[in-house]
Structure 1
Amino acid sequence: MSDTMPINPVATAPPSYTESQAQPQANVARVTEAKPYAARAPKDAPPPYDYPEQSPSSGYQRFDTSSGRRVGVVTVIELGPEPCYLQCPSCGNFIYTDTVYKTGALTCIASALCFFFCIICTCLPCFVKDCLDVDHYCPRCNYCFGTFTRL
């Protein structure tokens, strides 16, 4: 490069609207409007999938957009007689639940039946785990998830 050549050449202004209309340009590529995806899809394609609207009862959280607060949270956890692996809503940890056995309706019914057949065996259902209800607790914060009832 020479010292006389400017670094930034002076740009010329584009033609005005009236000038561009007076002199049509040749070989101008014609721009077509883009078609939406549904119009470009092949004829044998399946219809697009519409996601169903989720309700808060399905375990999802719904927020009030104006204040950012939670409006309602419903989480359905199916508890059984065995400890289960889940996330504690209180402390947020993934844990196996602690189970605590307690007497319930089935224990009382089984004890009444044992009383009629053998008085000595009346308290036997209180020691059989298959007759007791099960409470599920978080081992870290003692949050109670719920109770599995036999009846």
Structure 2
Amino acid sequence: MAAPSAPAPSAPAFATAPPPSYEESTGANNSAPYPYPPPGHVVGPAMKMGQPPSYTVPPYPQQSQGPAGPPPVPLQAIYVQTPLVFHDRPVQMCCPSCSKMIMTRLSYSAGMLSWLACGSLCLLGCWAGCCLIPFCVDALMDVDHYCPNCNVLLGVYKRL
């Protein structure tokens, strides 16, 4: 007598059914081939089933050879230069008078801050000559910027 044979091993439970496809999970109609035509689309004469639409390029309009008016005016480039801000240090710039690239020459002159400092020192009792010290300190005076080539005044920096 033969011994009863062991049952054949079965496939694991997770491999019994394939995962649902995109169409099944979203409910999309997959009866029509992808991508033409979309569901609910009527196929016209320019589009056939499974073929991309054909495009035609219209011809360019013909230009007339006759007079078309006055000749075109050539364009002129306009350069806008931002205004320079002068400080208490020399500035490198193009001189508008001599059209050369220069480093400005500085000259100091008494301004409002110098006179206010002199008046303040006089009020504090330094009237015997110490009140003239602000006219010797460059940090309290206005700055004039000159071109070193043509000596034209280019700008002024006022402290106050």
The CA distance in 2 between the partners of 1:144 and 1:33, in whole Å, is 64
Determine if the alignment matches structure 1 residue 122 to structure 2 residue 147: no
Using the size of structure 1 for normalisation, the TM-score is: 0.52
1:11 matched residue in structure 2: none
* SS of equivalent residue, structure 1 residue 109: helix
1:107 matched residue in structure 2: 114
Alpha-carbon deviation of 1:32? 2.7
Runs of 4+ in structure 1 deviating by more than 2 angstroms, as ranges, are 30-34
The CA distance in 1 between the partners of 2:154 and 2:58, in whole Å, is 57
Larger radius of gyration: 2
* SS of equivalent residue, structure 2 residue 119: helix
The CA distance in 2 between the partners of 1:112 and 1:33, in whole Å, is 85
1:25 matched residue in structure 2: none
The total of aligned residue pairs comes to 86
Alpha-carbon deviation of 1:94? 0.6
From 127, 152, 155, the counterpart of 1:143: 152
Higher fraction of strand = 1
* TM alignment of 1:5-44, pairs within 5 A: 32-33=57-58
The CA distance in 1 between the partners of 2:149 and 2:82, in whole Å, is 20
Q: 1:88 to 1:32 in 2, by over 3 A?
A: same
- Unpaired runs of at least 5, structure 2: 1-54, 60-77
- What RMSD over aligned residues (CA atoms) do the two structures have, in Å? 2.4
Amino acid in the other structure paired with 1:143: V
Using the size of structure 2 for normalisation, the TM-score is: 0.49
Q: 1:31 to 1:134 in 2, by over 3 A?
A: same
Higher fraction of helix = 1
Q: 1:92 to 1:31 in 2, by over 3 A?
A: farther
The CA distance in 2 between the partners of 1:144 and 1:101, in whole Å, is 12
The CA distance in 1 between the partners of 2:58 and 2:121, in whole Å, is 83
- Unpaired runs of at least 5, structure 1: 1-29, 35-55, 61-73
